Structure 1
């Protein structure tokens, strides 16, 4: 460990802003070209936004909900909140009525919401009917809401391109708070189960910087020598600007305020070549998609040092990219609550030893055990639930007392993931022990979606189950029992589902079911409860998957 572990984000942002300030820090790409934020600009613009926050009364420790897509503005807002001494909270909206972000802001006692008032299907356009605007000026509104009593202000971040006015509208005055301690909460993340019942995960400055340290050690990213690329949202712990904060490394990101390219995989690979990216982070479906497009990479001569992936069990076909797209693939097993837990690096010399779902051993500083339903250790190749212990473990969920069972005595945390240890000592993670569906980058808990879709006309009962998928690991299947006399068809169910979630979600992350399967009756257990596992099996057979 080094001295940065006794620091805060404010210390790191200021350090890099004052160290070779003209060096690029973040490079954003869109179909309109590239936008570079230098280290110095990051500090300058963020400290100016911090001053704007003080003008609306933000105090150290206040929670600021940020509902913005990946963009230069997002970086400035995130870092500006930290420079103001406040706490960032990611405000993503998946439910069409905004109930998810409303619940999160209420639990976290948010003081300010930062959003783009011009973003179609964005947080403000969806939630404003729940707010009363008391007064407004060009940059913010005083608001009141019975749903979120703590909320006092909405701060505008107009980021629409090319007429974006946010960055040019920032005040000339700057502000940097030095009041925060490493042990204070820095950021609140939502678990990737946000498509159902999210949990709010707070992390301290110290814990996040330790996570940064571990990732830098694992990936080997070094300052100006390496350039990273990521497609993950900045507000997720998996998209957190780790490498800049820790080592000042440049990060290349797609600006999501602008409509996506028709051929996004080609766009991504062209960016990687243009910027000479050395380490790229991809979801496995993106990795497979690029590899299958040989015309993209075969003639370019470009090969990454490393590809980073995670979020779902790694499949053998991903390894075909080793030696072509990159020298090696690092597969991470991680969680929002802990950060990186395990990692395996696969290259030409060891990829033949790979088996599906393997993730090998815990990273330095993380302890891991497999336990049975009575929380007793299992041995051999017996399957058990993963429990972990680390100094990076969250201090507990915010406003969710029902989840205390996840936190065991002596600092152990229940992950809800099932795994076993193979004969070589490698940990093989098979997936969730609950009904959760691993859908690409999301963990989907079916209950909320079922409650929404069962209201579809002509539907008597509806159950969401996973079915296998090569790209996103598990696709979403709606199993439907029609009401007597109903003539509902697949298209009716899907059209209803599309209205239940916001249309602004990227297609790769959409939680609308891909399949609809009709049943006369659902299978039951001996205790006459729904047998989800048997229903999923029957759905796979009907779909011939």
Structure 2
């Protein structure tokens, strides 16, 4: 007998389907059309792997039984750190079918205590990882469980996370060398070999998933626990907003597994999910092969990040007509007018979604051929029904608000989480006394009650009560001849007044001066030679040989410190 009281190989009595739970919704989909394609996955060598609903169900139930056999109990937290792959989704489903809680650990990419902190905070007892030195999880666990070839190993020596009991080492099939294929087991091999099947009954109030998001500046992870009922509500809301059906084939390039919409859509409608590892390829290969993949699979919808949408639109403009076009593209967050250029060349319409891990999908704005020309940057459309909002400067509810001044967006409603998991300090600082979530996003309503999101409060530079976002200035200043890179930071002058500084890396083969840059800024941003009193106009221009970076990204905080030192006369920091 295994730890679930079931003989390996036996199929449990699954009972009546409860569609108010994630497991019930999944089972209803899998059993309605078992031969229909559920998942398609492409690796960097364009090798295709697909699974039907019936195969997904079999693998997921075997995975659930395997987890249970090795000690996972109902309510336990299992952290899945696998990256974009079929194995990751099967393991997610398996954890849920075992009645456990899936923690999406693929975003935890730090080292040392910053890696262990969220696992300890969430009460993780089991970890699923890939034994590959390129993955942060394996680097952290290797000393504890890397001494043997066991696929599933006890973790007893970890003083940083003492509650972790076992580690499941699931190699991903597409990353195993062909020469090693006969002697190295993949995660699927381990799951298929297990002689068992499990479907644990759960209720809509039972915990289902821990969504994880990283606050990059603080190196802190915020986590939200979602119940089965909340997950089902979110999936239904997404399907309603995107008009997704079982006939849709959706390609998604977002790195997170359950946001901003997949596999929520699969969970609710049973559509086919298409994923790939193409993000690991060179940019040109990514664009061409992504579109080839979309055409081959006859995708009807795609969830893409704005840079990919822009590159795809340029790629498709060069293709002879007629060619394949998507019915719908969806993207999340603030997008530029230029993204609308994708309508026509590669899609019929775009839906801009506003979502957060604390709220699910908040708002969406559909844009088509007729409305693309009048799209306003930052517009997110109407709020979804279960969400109400206000702006901190107006104090009015969504039902009464009209055009408003710019302020921080506050949210409350049925799907808005009321707290962060085991983090009372973060909860206290992130919610108002009357229960509204402080999103950290700056925005406003226009006269048509359309919500506009301008950017993150932490990124804004406030000058004269006007929030200014560095990216807007950077994009314009970067067009100046002779400039290679530019980053805009804030600093205080000798009077303690916040000013903007454009930090510039010149091109090696161009002669450029501060006066030339200022003249170009006046042309692009407004202002005259005699009066630069424009809040968008940088007060200072400093030249650098390079910018300080962390994990490949510019460290704005360090750059601001260096600019401040230069202002005080320490020119050594410019190089």
TM, length-normalised to structure 2: 0.74
Query: Which residue does the alignment assign to 2:450?
Result: 426
Match of 1:249 among 271, 278, 298: 271
1:138 partnered with 2:150: yes
Query: Which residue does the alignment assign to 2:346?
Result: 325
1:383 and 1:523 mapped to 2: Cα distance? 31
Task: Give per-residue Cα distances to partners, 1:492-524, cap 9 Å, x unaligned.
Answer: 865xx4xx53xxxxxxxx635599685363779
Task: Give per-residue Cα distances to partners, 1:271-329, cap 9 Å, x unaligned.
Answer: 11111111111111111111122466445611111110113x12111112212211111
Q: Residues 106 and 390 from structure 1, CA distance in 2 versus in 1: closer, same or farther, beyond 3 angstroms?
A: same
Q: Which moved more, 1:25-34 or 1:365-374?
A: 365-374
SS in 2 for 1:425: coil
Query: Which residue does the alignment assign to 1:227?
Result: 249
Q: How does 1:162-201 map to 2 (within 5 A)?
A: 162=178, 163=181, 165-170=186-191, 171-193=193-215, 196-201=219-224
Q: Is the contact between residue 70 and residue 256 of structure 1 (CA under 8 Å) also seen in structure 2?
A: no
SS in 1 for 2:106: coil
Query: Which residue does the alignment assign to 2:62?
Result: 48
Query: Which residue does the alignment assign to 1:210?
Result: 233
Q: Residues 154 and 427 from structure 1, CA distance in 2 versus in 1: closer, same or farther, beyond 3 angstroms?
A: same
Match of 1:154 among 164, 167, 184: 167
Q: Is the contact between residue 111 and residue 136 of structure 2 (CA under 8 Å) also seen in structure 1?
A: no
1:282 and 1:22 mapped to 2: Cα distance? 28
Q: Is the contact between residue 70 and residue 257 of structure 1 (CA under 8 Å) also seen in structure 2?
A: no
Q: How does 1:368-407 map to 2 (within 5 A)?
A: 368-372=389-393, 380-403=403-426, 404-407=428-431
SS in 2 for 1:387: strand
Query: Which residue does the alignment assign to 1:519?
Result: 563
User: How much does 1:491 deviate?
Assistant: 7.4
Match of 2:379 among 353, 358, 361: 358
In the alignment, structure 1 segments of 5+ residues that lack a partner are 438-464, 482-488, 502-509, 525-541
Q: Is the contact between residue 350 and residue 367 of structure 2 (CA under 8 Å) also seen in structure 1?
A: yes
1:128 partnered with 2:149: no
User: How much does 1:39 deviate?
Assistant: 0.6
In the alignment, structure 2 segments of 5+ residues that lack a partner are 1-15, 462-469, 479-484, 492-542, 569-573
Query: Which residue does the alignment assign to 1:302?
Result: 324
Q: Residues 83 and 436 from structure 1, CA distance in 2 versus in 1: closer, same or farther, beyond 3 angstroms?
A: farther
Q: Residues 63 and 94 from structure 1, CA distance in 2 versus in 1: closer, same or farther, beyond 3 angstroms?
A: closer
1:436 and 1:476 mapped to 2: Cα distance? 16
2:99 and 2:279 mapped to 1: Cα distance? 27
User: How much does 1:384 deviate?
Assistant: 1.8
Q: How does 1:383-532 map to 2 (within 5 A)?
A: 383-403=406-426, 404-408=428-432, 411-435=435-459, 477=487, 497=549, 501=551, 511-512=553-554, 519=563, 521=565
SS in 2 for 1:138: coil
User: How much does 1:218 deviate?
Assistant: 1.2
1:84 partnered with 2:101: no
Query: Which residue does the alignment assign to 1:291?
Result: 313
Query: Which residue does the alignment assign to 1:447?
Result: none
Query: Which residue does the alignment assign to 1:100?
Result: 114
Q: Residues 479 and 94 from structure 1, CA distance in 2 versus in 1: closer, same or farther, beyond 3 angstroms?
A: farther
SS in 1 for 2:236: helix
Q: Is the contact between residue 27 and residue 36 of structure 1 (CA under 8 Å) also seen in structure 2?
A: yes
Query: Which residue does the alignment assign to 1:18?
Result: 31
Q: Is the contact between residue 108 and residue 214 of structure 2 (CA under 8 Å) also seen in structure 1?
A: no
User: How much does 1:265 deviate?
Assistant: 0.8
Task: Give per-residue Cα distances to partners, 1:15-41, cap 9 Å, x unaligned.
Answer: 222222111101001224210011111
Q: Mark the structure with the bigger radius of gyration.
A: 2
Q: Which has the higher contact order (CA 8 A, sep 6+)?
A: 1
Aligned residues: 472
2:386 and 2:111 mapped to 1: Cα distance? 42
